[in-house]
Amino acid sequence: MAGEYGLWIVRDEREQIAAVTFYQVSKLSDDSLDFCSCGTVAFSGTDRRLTETDMEQMEALARRLNCQSMSMRTIRPGLVKKLTQQPGWYTSEVILRKMF
């Protein structure tokens, strides 16, 4: 399963698609599996707070896939701040890029 990509669909209370997350399961150097959320597209507008309402479901998916950790790629400083205030989340890497 390591190295595989997947698509996770979140449905709202009316069973409409609320968000879609692209994820990858990677094998780390200690042979454990990491669930990486590579990107999420929200369809339900700004009233749906994905970190509060859907993060628990994504963590459950990671556990079902036998992952021992979860990571997230984002360019949103607000999301980094919000998640690092929750138990277990910390910043593990920063990527800087220069365009020319």
If DSSP states are collapsed to H, E and C, what string results for 40-77? EEECCCCCCCHHHHCHHHHHHHHHHCCCCEEEECCCCH
State the pLDDT at residue 27. Answer: 92
State which residues form the domain around 66: 5-73
- pLDDT confidence of residue 69: 94
Domain CATH code at residue 49: 3.40.630.30
Asked whether residue 81 is domain-assigned, the answer is: no
Is residue 84 assigned to a domain?
A: no
Q: Please give the distance of CA 33 from its chain centroid, rounded to a whole number.
A: 14
pTM over 0.75: yes
Query: Is 9 part of a structural domain of the chain?
Result: yes
Q: Which residues have CB under 8 Å from 69's CB, separation 6+? A: 28, 32, 33, 34, 35
End-to-end Cα separation, the chain, in angstroms = 37
| pLDDT of the residue at 63 | 95
pLDDT tens for 20-74 read: 889 999 999 999 999 999 888 887 665 556 677 678 888 899 999 999 999 988 8
78 is a domain residue: no
